[in-house]
Amino acid sequence: MKRKVVVFSIIVLLYGLLFWSLERWLSLEQLIIHELWLRRQVGEYPGRSCLLGFVIYLAASLIPGTGGKSVVFGWIFGLLIGATIVSVALTIAATISFCISRYFLRDMIQRRLGYFVARIDRALDHDGAFYLFALRVVHFPYALTNYAMGATTIRMRSFVCATAFGMLPGNVVFVYAGSQLPTLKTFVDEGIFGVLSPQLILAFTLVGISPIAIRALLRRFGIVHSPTKLS
């Protein structure tokens, strides 16, 4: 028990340092100031820039509440490289959070959120990893899902696969939105609505309804059961 407390304290300290570093040096304001320099660095040193970007995105994904990253990375790296970095980094960060929850915080989470965790477990028993897949497709709160799933009985392999494939459509849409930005200042001043187009609206709509369509197909072929009320 004492070892878990020490490990948990170290994790909290590392999270705090990450948050401070990201807030101080990698805020949108700082990126806007240096956006021409960033563009030049990516063009001159693509390999190093991609590796550094991956590490930064992975670290930022471990901190709850750091939204808008996918759009920024779409602007910096473009659609293909940006979507690859975002998808891989988010999956690894989710797995790290999942392991922290399962091996160090599980008892605490079950004490505080036992009813919620029990409902998820029943949904997983009912629909398997598709339940998590659906949550990922509709971008249910990322950090909450990671830690809650760690306290359930889902297998890590199922968690990783459902996370990777479930977040991919949304990641591509957000990265594409960023790739259409003329400058980062446009994103700050106008938000995501500043780059909305009929194509993006259609993409967001498809991302939202895809879990329902996929579930209907899976139920049609008997892969998942018909829904029942969770109580």
Is the model's pLDDT at 28 over the cut of 70? no
Longest dimension (CA), the chain: 57
Split at pLDDT 50, 70, 90, the class of 111 is: confident
Size of the chain, expressed as the number of residues it contains? 231
Comparing CA positions, the residue from 156, 163, 153 lying closest to residue 121 is 153
Query: Which position has the higher pLDDT, 129 or 92?
Result: 92
Q: Where are the alpha helices (DSSP H) in the chain?
A: 2-25, 28-33, 35-44, 46-61, 69-77, 79-100, 106-127, 129-137, 142-150, 156-179, 184-190, 198-220
- Write the pLDDT tens digit of every residue in 129-168: 888 988 888 778 898 899 999 999 999 999 999 999 999 9
pTM, full prediction: 0.77
Split at pLDDT 50, 70, 90, the class of 229 is: very low
Split at pLDDT 50, 70, 90, the class of 18 is: low
pLDDT in the model for residue 227: 42
pLDDT in the model for residue 231: 32
Is the model's pLDDT at 24 over the cut of 60? no
